[in-house]
Amino acid sequence: MSVAEASQTPLDRLRRLGEARSLAIIGIWLGVLAVWLSVPPFTIRALVVPAAAAVLGASLGLWALTRGERKLGWWAIGVALLAILVALWFQSEESAELESVFSIGLLAATFRFAAPLAFAAMGGIFSERSGVVNIGLEGMMLAGAFFGIVVVAETGQWELGLLGAMAAGAVLALIHAFFSIHLRADQIISGFAINFLALGVTGYLFRSIYGTRGTPELEERIPNVHLPLIEDIPFFGDLFGNLNLMIWLMFAVVLTSFIVLFKTPIGLRIRSVGEHPKAADTVGISVFKVRYAAVILSGVLAALGGAYLSFGTGNAFNENMTAGRGFIALAAVIFGNWRPFGAFGACLLFGFSSALALRLQGSPLLPSDLASANLLSTLPYVLTLVVLVGVIGRSRGPAAAGRPYVKQ
Amino acid sequence: MADIPLLELKGITKRFPGVIANDHVDFELVKGEVHALLGENGAGKSTLMNILYGLYHPDEGEVRLDGKRVRIDSPRAAIDLGIGMVHQHFMLIPVMTVAENIVLGVEPHSGPFLNIDAAEKRVRDLSERFGLAVRPEALIESISVGMQQRVEILKALYRGAEILILDEPTAVLTPQEAEELFEIIRSLQAEGKSIVFITHKLGEVLAIADRVTVLRRGKTIETVPREGATEEGLARLMVGREVLLRVDKTPAQPGDPLLTVEDLRVFDERHLEAVRGVSLEVRAGEIVGIAGVDGNGQSELVEAITGLRRPESGRVVAVGEDITNEGARDSLEAGVGHIPEDRQRRGLVLDFTLAENIALKDYCEEPDSKWGWLYPKRLVARAKRLLTEFDVRGGGPQTLAASLSGGNQQKVVVAREVSRDPRILVAAQPTRGLDVGAIEFVHRRLVAERDEGRAILLVSFELDEILSLSDRILVMYEGRVVGEYSPDVSEEELGIAMTGGGREVAA
Ligand SMILES: Nc1ncnc2c1ncn2[C@@H]1O[C@H](COP(=O)(O)OP(=O)(O)OP(=O)(O)O)[C@@H](O)[C@H]1O
Ligand SMILES: [Mg+2]
């Protein structure tokens, strides 16, 4: 560094870094835009348009890179290169084939895949923000899926089914809370125990109640919401005109979670307990009560995600039907930096990759050995791994997460 | 002053496994007074105040407020009775703002929503009323320790505290900040608040307290008015023997340079240049003191020398070996010992026993271990010897470090570092939170180590300590060494240099 630079005040340096950062972020978005332009519905055929956006994005990235913002700079360049590849590749494809993959349906499917994750992730955020790691989300989802559908099958009412699911999730969460808060057990082990418990109990009851026939034909499932006014608007209407109730509920839960956590006294208390329980205790906040409430809420939310799987988007229960979604939700929590919108974004990303994988199966867009169902269905999990590797060590969670609080 | 006590603690007894922290302690507080609580490390001061604040429950004894017996079984109850406490180790949430920390638990709200504007306004009003300057919207982790302290005080005032307990509030403050704190205490007193003030610094007691209660080994020794009290007298009451408040030492006999730092530049966490080209040399048999206000690059300099932070450029040479870009292990193998400034973060593993903590740096060598096999009995035997030698009270080798009092934790760190027999000893705030007796001990020990031919680099915010121990004094300001002085320099001259007004050295 030259003499002139060394003599700059700290404030100047900070300001400069800030600029590089924001430019790198703009660069990344330009790259994303480039990809977006080359797929339906736009499908811009002139390669120059997406390419121009990508090149601009890459140069911003480079600019940032040389000015100290290494990570984001590389990201911008990476995204831009990817964008150019995608654009090139799509130039040669038939429009119709492209549209069979990239369509409104893809976005709708993204919501469907994201919803169970988002419910569980919001649950995870509440629990972890209060200082209790909840590996048991997976089991709580599974319990919600099973007990919910049992109630629907018995009563024929989906509303009661949701209540049943929530109750099941709450009971499991209560067990987790008791072990990890009261008995100060290791939270990871307790969470794992919850998962095995849920897997065992639902598997056993499923077979002993329904035998080999599986859950009966459901008379009622969670309904879709028709919005006649919106339905007629092109594009927008196709997407939002006829969504499942649970998807709307998901939007509401994400928004409410954000408001509760960051805009209310309750949220302030939850976060304080997760960051520094002793400090919370010394101002008269009951660490135990807050943690119990947060963990139980996480069970309820996770169970709603499970319920949506079995009688919202689906119409039957299978053993272990959550298939690791609770863990993906946990990854989304970390990726989203323990913030509702961040985690929701991550859920949409995972949802999108699942939806894409489904559509690409057997699609002429891919060489046939790549388009196999088995390989493609690993896409969301691979993505989870990549994201976690990229993000771990960089994101900072609640300081006291995982540590039991010992009162004198 | 009215003599009806506002608050009375009678016969308070608190036992921890193996220790009686408070043994039938009596204490009383009159409305509007500043009452200092004095005592050695581990005498039971924090314990007594934690009982008053509802964090611990006494085994025996009673608390009376305005003559009526009260039960304080939780901090909530204490807050409701108008008792507020600033803890020895702060209770602030680093990732939240000043205002959020202050209102936590009693948040202003409109409907179900947190009204952060109202919170910030109330904090601003309070801070104006009591003259406690804070920035309500700043994050705790980004403000100075002095401001954090003011936040803690505001936290108590916001909850309507009439009785304010300050547990060693000045231990982490610079002399300037401490002076500001005294102003605040006086203005609180003028508002009719009653204050319990715990400290180890006898000068502060004489400057601010109306009365002094002395605890020794868990018992109340005496309560005396400030009039007529002297530093020597108080020290004798605390420790139970005469204490030498000045360090006796002969002139240094410096030998070869052992530690050489050349044009070192170091960045801090925020990638700002904290150390901007420091060169210095410490010879065998001398103590070089680094004076300066907190935050002028001392911490980063120390971390770079001890291998905890990689310097941007420059050289660090210890006993002839270049350790510039090596890690902590290489630094200590080159013969550098380190008493870190933050005992809880860098000095100790709080969940480990004292024996384990003492072995932290030698566990992988004989005699602690051989061929990868650890000999716990040897650790314990050594720990036992050192705990006695360094007069660590409140536990044995198998005690968890977390359960020691703050000052005794510090002694454990000093014991480990000094006993490792380093050629070079880097001591950052070595007596922070120690009582006068323990300070005397550590100071004597440092001088003795010097006379053995070790090179000692002392970093301290306490001018007294710098002046009485150092053979040469360097002043750091904004990341640079801005002056070199001999120990007969006046405090005023040093003070001016520390704030950037000194003469520049040509080196
Ligand atoms: N939680 C605890 N568990 C076990 N022992 C404890 C605990 N807290 C304090 N003690 C013991 O009680 C005694 C008194 O400790 P206390 O913290 O009250 O001392 P102090 O007077 O505040 O000392 P210092 O000036 O060093 O802060 C010490 O011997 C300490 O080891
Ligand atoms: Mg104490």
CA B155 to chain centre: 21
Which atom in ligand 1 lies closest to the alpha carbon of residue B435? 25
CB of B403 closer than 6 angstroms to any ligand 1 atom = yes
- Pocket probe for ligand 1: among B25, B403, B439, the residue whose CB has the most ligand atoms within 8 Å is B403
Same domain assignment for residues B143 and B95:
yes
Residue A92 CB partners (closer than 8 Å, separation 6+): none
Question: Whose CA is closest to atom 1 on ligand 1?
Answer: B403
**What average pLDDT score do residues A262-273 get?**
96
Do B109 and B167 lie in one domain? The reply is yes
- Is B35 in contact with B197 (CB distance < 8 Å)? yes
Question: Which residues in chain A are contacts of B49 at CB distance < 8 A?
Answer: none
d(CA B131, CA B135): 13
Judge whether B411 and B390 are in contact, CB under 8 Å: yes
**Same-domain status, A11 and A60:** yes
**Which pLDDT belongs to residue A15?**
55
Is residue A402 a part of any domain in this protein? Answer: no
Statement to judge: residues A345 and A370 lie in one domain = yes
Which 3 state secondary structure label does DSSP give B489?
coil
Q: Within this chain, do residues B184 and B58 fall inside the same structural domain, yes or no?
A: yes
Judgement on whether residues A150 and A80 belong to the same structural domain of the protein? no
Q: Is residue B297 part of a domain?
A: yes
B23 lines ligand 1 (CB under 6 A): no
Read off the pLDDT of residues B212-249 as tens digits, 9 standing for 90 and up: 999 998 998 889 998 888 888 998 888 888 777 777 78
Same domain, B277 and B172: no
- The per-residue pLDDT for A16 is 54
Averaged pLDDT of chain B = 89
Residue at a domain's end among B192, B210, B239: B239
Do B175 and B59 reside in the same domain of the chain? yes
Task: Check residue A387 and give its pLDDT.
Answer: 67
Residues B149 and B90 in one domain: yes
Atom of ligand 1 nearest to the CA of B50: 18
B55 vs A contacts (CB less than 8 Å): 281-282, 408
Cβ contact (<8 Å) for A399 and B155?
A: no
The answer to the question of residue B389 being in a domain is no
Q: Classify residue A82 as exposed, middle or buried by CB count within 10 Å of its CB (0-12, 13-18, 19+).
A: middle
For residues B63 and B143, is the Cβ–Cβ distance under 8 A? no
Closest to B164 measured CA to CA, from B79, B246, B226:
B79
State the Cα–Cα distance between residues B214 and B236, nearest whole angstrom.
Answer: 10
Closest C-alpha to A342, from A134, A118, A141: A118
Confirm whether B78 is domain-assigned: yes
Residue B403 lies in a domain: no
Number of H helices, E strands in chain A: 19, 2
Residue A370 has a pLDDT of: 64
B212 Cβ neighbours under 8 A, 6+ residues apart: B35, B36, B37, B38, B205, B223, B224, B225, B226, B229, B234
A217 and A160 share a domain?
Answer: yes
Nearest to B334 by CA among B258, B269, B402: B258
- Contact check, Cβ <8 Å, A264/B159: no
- The per-residue pLDDT for A47 is 67
Angstrom distance (rounded) from CA A339 to CA B320: 51
Are the C-beta atoms of residues A305 and A222 closer than 8 Å to each other?
no
B47 and B180: one domain? Answer: yes
Q: Say whether both A299 and A354 belong to one domain.
A: yes
The total of other beta-carbon atoms located within 10 Å of residue A182's CB is 12
Residue closest by Cα to atom 16 of ligand 1? B44
Is the bond preceding residue B367 a cis peptide, omega within 30 degrees?
Answer: yes
Q: Model confidence over A340-371: pLDDT tens digits?
A: 998 998 898 888 888 878 877 766 666 666 66
Q: Is A8 helix (H, G, I), strand (E, B) or coil?
A: coil
Strands (E), B311-380: 313-318, 321-322, 336-339, 369-370, 373-374
Last residue of a domain, one of A84, A99, A114: A99
Where does residue A201 rank: exposed (0-12), middle (13-18), buried (19+ CB within 10 A)? middle
Structure tokens at B45: 């001061």
Residue B2 lies in a domain: no
A220 Ramachandran zone, left/alpha/beta (phi>0; psi -120 to 50): beta
Q: Tell whether B139 and B69 lie within a shared domain.
A: yes
Domain boundary at B197, B213, B239, which?
A: B239
Residue B391 has pLDDT above 80, yes or no: yes
B255 and A CB contact within 8 Å: no
Within this chain, do residues A136 and A205 fall inside the same structural domain, yes or no? yes
Which residue's CA is the nearest one to ligand 1's atom 2?
A: B403
| Spatial separation of the C-alpha atoms in residues A371 and A369, rounded to whole Å | 5
pLDDT, average across residues A31-49: 71
Q: Are residues A75 and A221 in the same domain?
A: no
The Cα A162–Cα A159 span in angstroms is: 5
Question: In the structure, what pLDDT confidence band is assigned to residue A270 with cuts at 50, 70 and 90?
Answer: very high
- Chain A: residue whose CA lies nearest to B57: A408
* Total domains, chain A: 2
Could you give the 3-state DSSP secondary structure of residue B264? strand
Tokens, residue B24: 């039938």
Confidence of residue B507 (pLDDT cuts 50, 70, 90): very low
- The residue range of the domain holding B426 is 257-335+422-498
Supply the pTM of this predicted model: 0.81
Interface with A, mutate which of B114, B155, B478 (most A CBs under 10 A): B114
State the pLDDT at residue A145: 96
CA distance B376 to B372: 13
Dump pLDDT digits (tens) for B98-117. Answer: 999 999 999 999 989 999 99
| Cα A222 to Cα A115, A304, A307, B247, distances in angstroms | 13, 11, 9, 81
Phi (first) and psi of residue A246, to 5 degrees: -65, -25
**Domain closes at, from A75, A99, A123:** A99
Dihedral angle of Cα B476, B481, B484, B487, to the nearest 10 degrees: 20
The DSSP line for A237-301 is HHHHTEEEHHHHHHHHHHHHHHHHHHHSHHHHHHHHHHH-HHHHHHTT--HHHHHHHHHHHHHHH
> pLDDT tens digits for B336-360?
999 998 887 788 998 899 999 998 8
Q: Are B417 and B338 in contact (CB under 8 A)?
A: yes
Co-location of A149 and A210 in the same domain = yes
CB A349 within 8 A of CB A328: no
Tokens of B156: 């108590």
Residue B50: how many other CB atoms lie within 10 Å: 25
B266 Cβ closer than 6 Å to some ligand 1 atom:
no
Cα of A296 vs its chain's centroid, Å: 20
- Bond before A41 cis per omega within 30 degrees: yes
Same domain? For A50 and A139 the reply is: no
Q: Is B371 exposed, middle or buried (0-12, 13-18, 19+ CB in 10 A)?
A: exposed
Same-domain check for residues A27 and A87: yes
Range of the domain at A361: 104-391
CA atoms of B223 and B35, how far apart (whole Å): 10
Residue A42 to chain B, least CA–CA distance (Å): 43
Contact of B462 with B256, CB cutoff 8 Å: no
Which has the closest alpha carbon to A249: A144, A346, A119, A151?
Answer: A119
Chain A residues with a Cβ under 8 Å from any Cβ in chain B: 6, 10, 13-14, 17, 68, 259, 263-265, 267-269, 271-272, 275-276, 278-285, 396, 399, 408
C-alpha to C-alpha distance for A29 and A84, rounded to whole angstroms: 14
Identity at B236, one-letter amino acid code: R
pLDDT in tens, A156-191: 899 999 999 999 999 999 999 999 999 999 999 999
Residue pLDDT, tens place only, B473-497:
999 998 999 999 998 888 888 888 8
- Reduced to 3 states (helix: H, G, I; strand: E, B; else coil), residue A115 is helix
**Which of B209, B239, B269 is a domain's end point?**
B239
In short, whether B406's Cβ falls inside 6 Å of ligand 1 is yes
A13 band by pLDDT with thresholds 50, 70 and 90: low
Exposure string for B103-129, b = 16+ CB within 10 A, e = fewer: bbbebbbeeeebbbeebbebbeebbee
> Is residue B360 helix, strand or coil?
coil
Highest mean pLDDT out of A25-29, A192-196, B373-377: A192-196
CATH number at residue B192: 3.40.50.300
What span, in angstroms and rounded, lies between the C-alpha atoms of B307 and B326?
6
**Residue A111 and residue A136 in one domain:** yes
Q: Count up the domains in chain B and report the number.
A: 2
How many A from CA of B60 to the centre of ligand 1? 17
Same domain, B278 and B228: no
- Let me know if residue A408 belongs to a domain: no
First to last CA, chain A: 53
Which residues of chain A neighbour B96 with C-beta distances below 8 Å? 268, 271-272, 275
One domain, residues A233 and A340:
yes
Q: For residue A281, what pLDDT is reported?
A: 93
Contact B470, B451 (CB under 8 A): no
User: Which atom of ligand 1 lies at the shortest distance from residue B56's CA?
Assistant: 1
Report yes or no on A355 lying in a domain: yes
Are residue B222 and residue B264 in the same domain, yes or no? no
Please give the average per-residue pLDDT across A39-51, as a whole number: 68
Ligand 1 centroid, distance to B198 Cα (angstroms): 14
The share of chain B scoring above pLDDT 90, in percent, equals 55
In a domain, B369, yes or no: no
Q: What percent of chain A stands above pLDDT 70?
A: 84
CATH number for the domain spanning A116: value is 1.10.3470
Residues B69 and B145 in one domain: yes
CA–CA separation, B271 vs A239, rounded Å? 46
CB under 8 Å to B170, separation ≥6 — which residues?
Answer: B178, B181, B199, B201, B204
Q: Are residues B45 and B192 in the same domain?
A: yes
B85–A contact, CB cutoff 8 A: yes
